[in-house]
Amino acid sequence: GENVEQHPSTLSVQEGDSAVIKCTYSDSASNYFPWYKQELGKRPQLIIDIRSNVGEKKDQRIAVTLNKTAKHFSLHITETQPEDSAVYFCAASIGGNQFYFGTGTSLTVIP
Amino acid sequence: SAVISQKPSRDICQRGTSLTIQCQVDSQVTMMFWYRQQPGQSLTLIATANQGSEATYESGFVIDKFPISRPNLTFSTLTVSNMSPEDSSIYLCSVAQGQGEKLFFGSGTQLSVL
């Protein structure tokens, strides 16, 4: 199956700074790349996604970029706030048939 | 998004016993999946629950250990059989729904095996 790598595993930023999380995937057939936020003790929540026919997508303070040639995609969070502190997972999917997840990034926003 | 109900929410079980986890969705969905999330770890796909046919298992997971049923488009069960402490984990039901088949998760079952 697909192999998704995610970096960094932990990230600490000052409130108001930006945070960037990067993922790479192995299967060139993957065409859908969602990002999830998981707060402690809760289920993963979909926060943004991107499809392979799009290079960038933004939703308020979060954005995702995709480089199909290099097989990597990134999550960008600007103007970070303490409530952004959570574990973030990237994933890759081929047409929604299976979803494979990265190893997760624990983000801490320091007030 | 669909409302995904999963039960039990948590259980403590004895070694060698089995536990069946239920997942109920409030609308018909094409794809249902079962994931395992060990403490502090990522989400590992166990299997795809196929309606009316045998589940498709990922490498490292077998039907004898994790039998799955999916009798219709709104319900699935995962059984963790002959449990050992290594099976202690959170088990998550998920469904792919909506335009482009976005993935959503149930609330999870936290399993502890003594």
Residue B99 is predicted with a pLDDT of 57
What is the 8-class DSSP label of residue B88? -
Tokens at residue B44, please? 């590992």
The contacts of residue A25 (CB under 8 Å, 6+ apart) are A2, A3, A4, A5, A33, A71, A72, A73, A92, A100
Q: Do B43 and A44 touch (CB under 8 A)?
A: yes
Which residue from A100, A94, A93, A107 is spatially nearest to A7, judged by alpha carbons?
Answer: A107
Mean pLDDT, to the nearest integer, of B56-81?
95
Residue A64 is predicted with a pLDDT of 98
Nearest to A99 among B33, B100, B106 (CB): B33
Q: Do B102 and A44 touch (CB under 8 A)?
A: no
Tell me how far apart the alpha carbons of residues A55 and A52 are, in angstroms, rounded to a whole number.
7
Tell me how far apart the alpha carbons of residues B97 and A88 are, in angstroms, rounded to a whole number.
21
Residues belonging to chain A: 111
- Beta-bridged to residue B104, according to DSSP, are B95
Tokens at residue A21, please? 């999380």
pLDDT reading at B23 higher than 90: yes
Most A-contacting residue of B10, B32, B43 (CB-CB within 10 A), to test interface: B43
CA A77, A47, B78, B50 torsion-angle sign: negative
Tell me how far apart the alpha carbons of residues B42 and B70 are, in angstroms, rounded to a whole number.
25
Residue B51 is predicted with a pLDDT of 86
Residue B101 is predicted with a pLDDT of 78
Type of residue numbered A24:
T
Tell me how far apart the alpha carbons of residues B19 and B113 are, in angstroms, rounded to a whole number.
10
Measured CA angle at A35 (ends A26, A80), to 5 deg:
125
Which residue numbers in chain A have pLDDT < 70?
A: none
Q: How far does A94 lie from chain B, in Å, by closest CA?
A: 11
- Is A18's Cβ below 8 Å from some Cβ in B? no
CA A94, A102, A3, A99 torsion-angle sign: negative
The backbone torsions φ and ψ at residue B40, rounded to the nearest 5 degrees and listed phi first, read 70, 15
For A62-91, write each residue's pLDDT tens digit.
999 999 999 999 999 999 999 999 999 999
For B71-109, write each residue's pLDDT tens digit.
999 999 999 999 999 999 999 999 987 656 789 999 999
Q: Do A43 and B105 touch (CB under 8 A)?
A: yes
